[in-house]
Structure 1
Amino acid sequence: MGVLLEVIELHKSFGGVTAVDGVSFDLQEGHLLAMIGPNGAGKSTCFNLINGQLRPDRGKIRILGKDITGMKPRHVWRLGVGRTFQVASTFLSMTVVENVQMVFISSHRKLNSMTKKVSNLYRDEAMELLKLVGVEEQWDRPCGILAYGDLKRVELAMALANNPKLLLMDEPTAGMGLKERLKLMELTARIAKDRNIGVLFTEHDMDVVFSHADFIIVLNYGKLIARGTPTEVRDNEEVKEIYLGSCATGT
């Protein structure tokens, strides 16, 4: 496995507030890297810098050695960076399979084919992904009537339709019950290993983080204060004091 993502001395300020302050880390292919920290630590800003929604003041971002710093989101996406959001982002009036087909259509630059019936385009490929994430039986239902856990699985299928090398997952289990959270992350981990996808995710549920992350980085006030395996981060005194508190010590 090689280095997939390199973040080098990333800086971003908004007015007089420093949101990201010299953050550096890397992510290997096939690994799950959790980015944790209290609210306002800079996690969302880091995500938005990586996928091109924001441009850094200083620093570099590389995917498989290619400098993507400051690229627009659509260009970053075409290089193989997928993303899911804290609030599931789907076309609620369209069916489950149509949502995934839309990503295939965009990925293959066939939006001009929208004059044709969408059901004729990439239907088999979309159904394969729905089967992979476990919602193939709901293929013909509008996304707007799905249970939230199923909606998150559809969003995962949509993120996979672009055949990503890197998957950014912002609070992937937000709004889900404990069993649903663990199942979704088990599924994500299995897909990442099978397809050699690097996954960078933020998460407030420490059970999810310590159960599924290969490595963890911890941010606080825009600075990276710790990195390592789940065991190393759990035992880090600064992390215990600043972020995990009593959760880390079991009290």
Structure 2
Amino acid sequence: MSAVLQVNGLSKEFGAIQAVDNVSFELQKGELLALIGPNGAGKSTCFNMLMGQLKSSGGTVRLNGKDLKGLKPRQIWRLGVGRTFQITGTYASMTVIENVQMALISHHRKIYTLLPRAHLMYRDEALALLDLVGMADQSERHCAVLAYGDLKRLELAIALAHEPTLLLMDEPTAGMAPAERIALMQLTADIVESRGVSVLFTEHDMDVVFAHAHRVMVLNRGQLIANGSVDEIRNDERVREVYLGGGTLFKHDGESANA
């Protein structure tokens, strides 16, 4: 099987600091892959290189066999890479459906035409995406009054408007209540299964990671120190020592992780 994403020897230096050091991995179609590690491990730097927001110091990134080196973020987005961020970036003055409509207008390359009619364009598609993430009943509300968890779900709908084959989610549950975290990642897992989208996500909540990830990678000081199944990562002594100082990553009785 050909991987959707192939990363080989990816590196990034900031002066004397090696933020990402020779990282290599693959992501298959329909796989939900978690990238974890302590603060400063290089997770966001890695994401920014994958999306073209940072130029790598070395290594290659291929999407469906195409080399992404030198491409701008918008060009990479056009190839089928979506992204959500730690802090949501919706238009607060617009309604929920208008935010998704804007994403669809951009996807269909209509951003410079028919702007006076923008509020009428792609409404059905926008409502379908909002229904997918459980936000259709709030379609006419302004984003400024939404709860944070609802903003996260809206951001997911916006990312899906481009029909990505690869979705990068940088701490998708940051700032959310525990129940909202589980709900959002279950929604993401359902989308992965139904649409075959490949997802790479970073996360600090180990309950979320171990409940939903198909596979887990661990970064420490820019280096990939482990890559395996949930059970393999949970029982990896080096991961326990480096990531949590030897603590328990996840309790088998379902109690909260010591993170």
Counterpart position of 2:67: 67
- Decide whether aligned partners of structure 1 residues 138 and 249 sit closer, same or farther in structure 2, where only a CA change above 3 A counts: closer
Residues 99-133 of structure 1: CA deviation (Å, up to 9, x unaligned): 00101111111111253222211111000000000
Residues 167-201 of structure 1: CA deviation (Å, up to 9, x unaligned): 00000001111111001000000001111100000
Structure 1 Cα separation of the partners of residues 183 and 189 of structure 2: 10
Query: Counterpart of 1:217 in 2: which secondary structure?
Result: strand
Q: Any conservation in 2 of the 1:80–1:166 contact (CA below 8 Å)?
A: yes
Structure 2 Cα separation of the partners of residues 165 and 191 of structure 1: 11
Instruction: Show the 5 A alignment for 1:65-104.
Output: 65-104=65-104
- Decide whether aligned partners of structure 1 residues 91 and 64 sit closer, same or farther in structure 2, where only a CA change above 3 A counts: same
Q: TM-score if structure 2 supplies the norm length?
A: 0.94
Q: TM-score if structure 1 supplies the norm length?
A: 0.97
Residues 60-109 of structure 1: CA deviation (Å, up to 9, x unaligned): 00011111123100000000000000111101110000000101111111
Structure 1 Cα separation of the partners of residues 95 and 130 of structure 2: 12
Counterpart position of 2:247: 246
Structure 1 Cα separation of the partners of residues 112 and 70 of structure 2: 28
Q: Any conservation in 2 of the 1:29–1:198 contact (CA below 8 Å)?
A: yes
Residues 36-79 of structure 1: CA deviation (Å, up to 9, x unaligned): 00011000000000000011111000011111123100000000
Instruction: Show the 5 A alignment for 1:1-251.
Output: 2-113=2-113, 115-244=115-244, 245-248=246-249, 250=251
Structure 1 Cα separation of the partners of residues 249 and 142 of structure 2: 42
AA aligned opposite 1:137: D
Higher helix share: 1
AA aligned opposite 1:248: L
% identity of equivalent residues: 59
Structure 2 Cα separation of the partners of residues 186 and 103 of structure 1: 23
Cα drift, residue 247 of structure 1:
2.9
Structure 2 Cα separation of the partners of residues 249 and 205 of structure 1: 10
Gap regions ≥5 residues in structure 1: none
Q: Any conservation in 2 of the 1:101–1:122 contact (CA below 8 Å)?
A: yes
TM superposition outliers: structure 1 runs of 4+ over 3 Å = none
Q: CA RMSD in A?
A: 1.1
Structure 2 Cα separation of the partners of residues 218 and 246 of structure 1: 15
Query: Counterpart of 2:113 in 1: which secondary structure?
Result: helix
AA aligned opposite 1:129: L
Structure 2 Cα separation of the partners of residues 41 and 128 of structure 1: 38
Structure 2 Cα separation of the partners of residues 225 and 115 of structure 1: 50
Cα drift, residue 248 of structure 1:
2.0
Counterpart position of 2:254: none
Query: Counterpart of 1:182 in 2: which secondary structure?
Result: helix
Cα drift, residue 249 of structure 1:
6.5
Gap regions ≥5 residues in structure 2: 252-257
Structure 2 Cα separation of the partners of residues 110 and 24 of structure 1: 38
Q: Any conservation in 2 of the 1:11–1:21 contact (CA below 8 Å)?
A: yes
